[in-house]
Amino acid sequence: MSSQEHADVEIRIISEPRYVCAVRHAIVSLAKAMGLAETSCANLALAVTEAIANIIKHGYHGDEGRPIWVKVTPVQQGGRDGLEVVIEDECQGIDLDKIKSRSLDEIRPGGLGVHIIHEIMDEVDYSHREAGVGVRLRMRKFITPAQPVSSE
């Protein structure tokens, strides 16, 4: 079941950077409780905090007091156990085709959040919310590796 239908844990914050650390700590604790290894927990928390930072900076343009929802649910897919994190916002006018990382050849600070998210997570999908306003980021991280495909 996707967390779009039901989330085991849902956190709602407003778009203020000071609340990002609370979400980070919650994600690490949840991921540990759901069986992710310590390094995977830290990486998952990094992906989530990068996504929230991008919402605050690029989606809400630093406007404080806007809603951000983080939903976490254990998932199974193809015999693999994992964790799904869905982050939703009410950002206006976001062109999903423009959500991408800058070139890694360009040496300067910042602009790598989307790249980090894609490197850490096993699945990443951006879509518009059904409400017509905002973006939904669905990310999955699997605990167990994919089974090798038999050549028989």
pTM: 0.85
pLDDT of residue 109: 46
At 90, the pLDDT band (50, 70, 90 cuts) reads very high
DSSP string, 16-47: -GGGHHHHHHHHHHHHHHTT--HHHHHHHHHH
Q: Tens of pLDDT along 124-138? A: 999 999 877 899 999
The whole-angstrom separation of Cα 54 and Cα 117 is: 11
70-86: average pLDDT: 93
Q: Please return the burial class of 54, using the count of CB atoms within 10 Å of its CB with bins 0-12, 13-18 and 19+.
A: buried
Question: For 9-142, which CATH superfamily applies?
Answer: Histidine kinase-like ATPase, C-terminal domain (3.30.565.10)
Q: Domain extents for the chain?
A: 9-142
Whether 3 shows a pLDDT value over 50: the answer reads no
Sorted by sequence, the CB contacts under 8 Å of residue 136 that are 6+ apart come out as 4, 86, 87, 88, 126, 127, 128, 129
DSSP β-ladder status, 123-128 and 80-89:
unpaired
Which residue, among 36, 20, 58, 62, has the nearest Cα to 135 in the 3D structure? 58
Calculate what percentage of the chain has a pLDDT beyond 90: 64
Whether 57 shows a pLDDT value over 50: the answer reads yes
